[in-house]
Amino acid sequence: MISLTVFSIIFVSLMLCFVFYKHFLRTTRTELKAFAQIFRNSNSNSIITEFNNSKSNNIRITVIDKDGKVIFDNTANPTSLPNHIDREEIKEAMENGFGESTRFSDTLEEVTNYYAIKLNDNAFLRLAKTSSSIFIIFIDTIPIVVFVVLIVIIFGYILAGRLTKKIMEPINNVDLNKEPSIPYDEFAPFIKTITNQRKQIEEQIADLQNRANTISTIMENMNEGIIILNNDGEILSINKSALSIFEISPSELLNGKNIIELLRDIELFENIKSTLAGNHNEMSIEHNDRNYRVIFSPVNFLNGAIILFLDVTEKTRAEKMRQEFSANVSHELKTPLTSIAGYSEMILNDMVQEKDIKNFIEKIKDESARLIYLISDIMMLSELDETSSESSKEKVEICEIVHKVKEDLFIKAKEMNVSINIFCDETHVFGNNSTLYEMFYNLVDNGIKYNHQNGTIDIRISKIDEDQVMIKISDTGIGIPKEHQSRIFERFYRVDKSRSKKSGGTGLGLSIVKHIVMNHKGRIELNSKKNEGTEIIIYLPNTAK
């Protein structure tokens, strides 16, 4: 505004100078003309006589003869002046009887108005008046203009400050967080727009917050580890599972830790590079004894990547176990079948003496019985694998089962002269009747098989709290050496293979027991000392909880 004002002042000053100057010129001309008209009917001599001794410093009077020679000048010596025949005003006066012109001085500082008339004797009277030129007039006004401009700037500054403050005060006091009051009508559309935008932003923030909460809740409750990386491989976000996989605390990630610092793995690094370049990748890694399937997906809008760590340890173990189991099953089945085939072939080829045939057939019968045990144990295991732990559970009279098992194994126990003692304080558990029978059968069977002659087996069933029943089966048998104790629940694992085989063992009994306990959401413990005996403790729930 100050610039505009300064410009206006200068422009107006210029215009005024120009207008006044024009007016001044016109006045001067009129004055010269009026003065010249007085002498219209005079001749040169009378004029010279009249002005000879009068020195007017206001108007210059010059008399010029008809040839242009200066014969009188009240301000200069006529002889020193050049011929004036070519002067514009003289030329005009020659033709029209009067002539006028305006000329600037060489320095443009002055301007002179000329007015000439023809006299009676054909000579010319020329009147001239010199005044300052428009430039000088303008230069003269400059101090005034500067002064005015300065005043305008000072006043403008003070006034603008006060005015702005006055205008801005109500605007500054507008509280956009509340429903704002409108300070001026002109401000209403602005306030309305801002208020609407504020509401929109609040809604959008709430919406974003909700989404962020949903996403973080999902991420935090996932069992899979998730890591989100930026373009440089720095961790932008990591969930609880991923933190626990890499055993790091969230504070360690504050300075944008790079994923490579967590897992120094070339293949992982290559996959991240490729994912950041926009490709989908997958790989498997082993970390802290666990197996992970790692899935890399690019995130275009982030220019980064999402890495998903799926814990496939159990799956891998199960897969390995299945493979081992298949190999073991084939092996276990092959041995008795080979024996059966061998014995039969020998009998068929008359390679066995008459008196030994019965012996051979007995061996074939034993091997067949072994096969039957084996197959029924395998079938039992696969059945346990398939049936869910919750299926067909009921209140089971556990003491009845134990007594039935004792009855069914009576002959076997008698052979070894092993006595079985049952102490039943609690009569029921919550479970599956037939699998619990299988469990007790295997355990008592083992207690007999791996016992000494005249040994004992004690079976104690008691309630340890509202929800649990404890089953303790202890024998006075050969015991299990410490180094084997951790493996005897594995499928086909036997401490003494020949003893197990001789007594009809398949190596699957305890793994079936463990499986049954697990299906009952129970727990199994083993205490055993070589040559002293073995104690197996099982905790089972006695409620449906």
Contact 388, 424 (CB under 8 A): no
Supply the minimum distance, in Å, between the C-beta of residue 488 and ligand ADP. Answer: 4
Torsion of CA 209, 215, 221, 227, to 10 degrees: -120
Among 307, 507, 519, 524, binds ligand ADP (CB under 6 A): 507
Contact stretch for ligand ADP (CB under 6 A) within 51-59, 125-133, 173-181, 439-447: 439-447
Among 99, 455, 477, 522, binds ligand ADP (CB under 6 A): 477
Query: Is residue 328 a contact point for ligand ADP (CB under 6 A)?
Result: no
Query: Is residue 500 a contact point for ligand ADP (CB under 6 A)?
Result: yes
Among 245, 478, 538, 540, binds ligand ADP (CB under 6 A): 478
Distances (CA, A) of 304 to 169, 280, 300, 349: 48, 12, 7, 76
Among 332, 367, 426, 475, binds ligand ADP (CB under 6 A): 475
Distance linking the first and last C-alpha atoms of the chain: 85
Contact stretch for ligand ADP (CB under 6 A) within 19-27, 122-130, 172-180, 500-508: 500-508
* CA angle, residues 216, 222, 228, in degrees to nearest 5: 55
Torsion of CA 386, 388, 392, 394, to 10 degrees: 140
Q: How far apart are CA 438 and CA 528, in angstroms?
A: 22
Contact stretch for ligand ADP (CB under 6 A) within 1-9, 228-236, 354-362, 447-455: 447-455
Q: How far apart are CA 81 and CA 85, in angstroms?
A: 12
Among 84, 494, 515, 520, binds ligand ADP (CB under 6 A): 494
Query: Is residue 455 a contact point for ligand ADP (CB under 6 A)?
Result: no
Query: Is residue 474 a contact point for ligand ADP (CB under 6 A)?
Result: no
Query: Is residue 446 a contact point for ligand ADP (CB under 6 A)?
Result: yes
Query: Is residue 332 a contact point for ligand ADP (CB under 6 A)?
Result: no
Closest residue to ligand ADP, judged by C-beta, is: 509
Supply the minimum distance, in Å, between the C-beta of residue 343 and ligand ADP. Answer: 23
Query: Is residue 510 a contact point for ligand ADP (CB under 6 A)?
Result: yes
Among 506, 515, 517, 520, binds ligand ADP (CB under 6 A): 506
Query: Is residue 62 a contact point for ligand ADP (CB under 6 A)?
Result: no
Supply the minimum distance, in Å, between the C-beta of residue 385 and ligand ADP. Answer: 16
Spatial strand order in the sheet of 98-104: 70-73, 60-64, 124-132, 110-118, 98-104
Q: How far apart are CA 477 and CA 457, in angstroms?
A: 9
- DSSP secondary structure of 17-59: HHHHHHHHHHHHHHHHHHHHHTTTT--HHHHHHHHSS---SSS
Secondary structure of residue 78 in the 3-state scheme? helix
Binding site for ligand ADP (CB under 6 A): 442, 446-447, 449-450, 475, 477-480, 488, 493-496, 500, 505-511, 534
